[in-house]
Amino acid sequence: MADQGEVVRPVFDAETIARRVRELAEELEAFYPTGDLILLGTLKGGFIFLADLVRQIRRALEIDFLVAASYGVNKTSSRQVRILYDPVTLLTSRHVVLVEDIIDSGTTLNSLVRLLEARGPASLEICALLHKRKADLVLEPRFVGFDAPDEFLVGYGLDYAQRYRHLPFVGSLSTE
The residues facing 130 across adjacent strands are: 102, 146
Determine the distance from the C-alpha atom of residue 55 to the mean position of all C-alpha atoms in its chain, rounded to a whole number: 16
Catalytic residue among 104, 136, 147, 150: 104
Burial (CB < 10 A; 0-12, 13-18, 19+), residue 21, is buried
- At 7, the amino acid letter reads V
**DSSP conformational letter for 18:** H
Summarize pLDDT for 6-32 with one digit per residue, the tens.
889 999 999 999 999 999 999 999 999
* The CATH number of domain 14-149, selected from 3.20.20.70, 3.40.50.2020, 3.20.20.140, 3.30.450.40: 3.40.50.2020
Strand 153-154 vs strand 170-175: parallel, antiparallel, or unpaired? antiparallel
Provide the residue-wise pLDDT of the chain in tens; the chain has 176 residues.
Answer: 566 668 899 999 999 999 999 999 999 999 999 999 999 999 999 999 999 999 999 999 999 999 987 755 555 555 677 888 878 889 999 999 999 999 998 988 999 999 999 999 999 999 999 999 998 999 999 999 999 999 999 999 999 999 999 999 999 998 76
Angle at CA of residue 117, ends 113 and 120, nearest 5°: 155
Is 86 a residue of the active site? no
Summarize pLDDT for 148-161 with one digit per residue, the tens.
999 999 999 999 99
**DSSP conformational letter for 137:** -
